[in-house]
Amino acid sequence: MASDEASPPAERLRVVGAWSGALEVLLGVWTVPMLRAEVARRAGGVDPCRINLIFGGRVLRDDPPESLQQAGLKSNSKVLSSLTSPDRAKAIAAQAAAAAAEEEHTSRLTRLWDAAKALSQRHTDGSFPEEGFNVDLEDQSGQKVMFGSVDDIKAVKMALMLHQKAKTFIKRDKHKDALDVLMMAEEAFSLCDPKLIERVDNVPMLQLDIVWCYFVLHDVSCLELAGARLEKARSGFEHSHGKDSTRFRLLQAGHHADLAIYVRLELLEGVIAYHNGHTEKARESLNSAQVKYMQLQVPDEAISILMGMGYGARAAKRALKMTGYDIQSSVDLLCEERQKKIRRIQEDRETKKVIMEQRKYGKTPMNKAVDMQKLKFLVAIGFEKKLAAEALRINENDSDRALDLLTDPEQNCILQSKILSRALRSSRGSSAGSSSSSAAAATTASGVNNSQAQVNTSTNVPDGSAMAWSHAPSVMNEDAVNNGEATNNDEEDMEGDDANPPPVRDVVTENELAHELTGDVLDDYDIDVSNEGQAIAEYLSLLEPAVTS
pLDDT mean across residues, the chain: 78
The model's pLDDT over 502-529, given as tens digits with 9 standing for 90+, comes to 667 888 888 888 888 876 767 777 788 8
Query: How far lies 531's CA from each of 136, 173, 263, 291, in Å?
Result: 34, 12, 11, 15
Q: Which residues are 474's β-sheet partners?
A: none
Cα(509)–Cα(512) distance, rounded to whole angstroms? 5
What was the pLDDT predicted at 452? 32
What was the pLDDT predicted at 169? 94
Cα(208)–Cα(260) distance, rounded to whole angstroms? 12
Q: Which residues are 363's β-sheet partners?
A: 369
What was the pLDDT predicted at 513? 87
User: At residue 329, what is the residue type?
Assistant: S
The model's pLDDT over 206-238, given as tens digits with 9 standing for 90+, comes to 999 999 999 999 887 788 889 999 999 999 888
What was the pLDDT predicted at 492? 46
- 8 Å CB contact between 132 and 474: yes
What was the pLDDT predicted at 545? 67
Cα(155)–Cα(463) distance, rounded to whole angstroms? 18
The better pLDDT of the pair 177, 134 is held by 177
Give 490's pLDDT tier (boundaries 50, 70, 90): very low
Q: What percent of the chain has a predicted confidence (pLDDT) above 90? A: 24
pLDDT exceeds 80 at position 366: yes
Give 354's pLDDT tier (boundaries 50, 70, 90): confident
Give 99's pLDDT tier (boundaries 50, 70, 90): confident
Q: Looking at residues 240-269, what average pLDDT do you find?
A: 75
What was the pLDDT predicted at 211? 95
pLDDT exceeds 60 at position 3: no
- 204-218, 302-316, 340-354: which range is least confident on average? 340-354
pLDDT exceeds 80 at position 70: yes
| DSSP states along 398-460 | -HHHHHHHHH-HHHHHHHHHHHHHHHHHHHHHHHHTHHHHHHHHHHHHHHHGGG-S---EEEE
Q: Between 313-323 and 300-308, two packed helices, what is the crossing angle to 10 degrees?
A: 120
DSSP state of 499: H
- 8 Å CB contact between 53 and 79: yes
- 8 Å CB contact between 392 and 374: yes
Cα(36)–Cα(47) distance, rounded to whole angstroms? 10
**CA 452 distance to own-chain centroid:** 17
Q: Looking at residues 180-204, what average pLDDT do you find?
A: 88
Cα(24)–Cα(21) distance, rounded to whole angstroms? 10
The model's pLDDT over 124-149, given as tens digits with 9 standing for 90+, comes to 877 766 666 667 676 655 566 667 78
Give 416's pLDDT tier (boundaries 50, 70, 90): confident
Q: Looking at residues 174-187, what average pLDDT do you find?
A: 94
